Chain A
Amino acid sequence: DTGVSQDPRHKITKRGQNVTFRCDPISEHNRLYWYRQTLGQGPEFLTYFQNEAQLEKSRLLSDRFSAERPKGSFSTLEIQRTEQGDSAMYLCASSLAETTNEKLFFGSGTQLSVL
Chain B
Amino acid sequence: AQTVTQSQPEMSVQEAETVTLSCTYDTSESDYYLFWYKQPPSRQMILVIRQEAYKQQNATENRFSVNFQKAAKSFSLKISDSQLGDAAMYFCAYRSEDSNYQLIWGAGTKLIIKP
Given A31-B100, A42-B91, A97-B100; A108-B105 close (CB under 8 Å): no
Report yes or no: A42 in contact with B108, Cβ–Cβ below 8 A.
yes
In chain B, residues 20-72, which have Cβ atoms closer than 8 Å to a Cβ of chain A? 42-47, 50
Report whether B108 and A41 are in contact in the complex, using a CB–CB cutoff of 8 Å.
yes
Max chain B C-beta neighbours (<10 A), residue from A33, A56, A106, A111: A106
Is B42 a contact partner of A42 (Cβ separation < 8 A)?
Answer: no
Q: Is the pair B101, A48 in contact by a Cβ cutoff of 8 Å?
A: yes
How many CB-defined contacts (below 8 Å) exist between A and B?
Answer: 50
A109 at the interface (CB under 8 A from B): yes
Closest chain A residue to B110, Cβ basis: A40
Alpha-carbon gap, A50 to B53, bound state (A): 25
Give chain B residues whose Cβ lies under 8 Å from the Cβ of A107. Answer: 44
A90 to chain B, nearest CB (A): 11
> Chain A's nearest CB lies how many Å from the CB of B90?
10
Q: Which of A41, A101, A108 contacts B42 (CB 8 A)?
A: A108
A108 and B47 CA atoms in complex are apart in Å by 13
B107 within 8 A of A: yes
Please determine whether A43 and B103 come into contact, CB atoms closer than 8 angstroms.
yes
Nearest Cβ distance between residue B101 and chain A, in whole angstroms? 4
Count A-side interface residues using an 8 Å CB cutoff.
25
The answer for the CA separation of A102 and B97 in the assembled complex, in Å, is 12
B residues 77-115 touching A (CB-CB < 8 Å)? 91, 93, 100-103, 105-108
Say yes or no: B101 contacts A45, CB within 8 Å.
yes
Q: Which A residues lie within 8 Å of B106 (CB)?
A: 42
A55/B107 contact (C-beta < 8 A), A91-B45, A93-B45 known:
no
B57 vs chain A, min Cβ distance (A) = 15
Q: State the CA gap A109–B43 with chains docked (Å).
A: 7
- Residues of chain A within 8 A (CB-CB) of B103 are 43, 45, 104
Please list the 5 inter-chain residue pairs (A to B) with the smallest Cβ-Cβ separation, ordered nearest first: A42-B105, A106-B45, A48-B101, A108-B44, A108-B43
* CB pairs A–B below 8 angstroms (19 shown): A40-B107, A40-B108, A42-B4, A42-B105, A43-B91, A43-B103, A44-B105, A45-B101, A45-B102, A48-B100, A48-B101, A93-B45, A101-B50, A102-B100, A103-B47, A103-B50, A104-B45, A104-B103, A109-B43
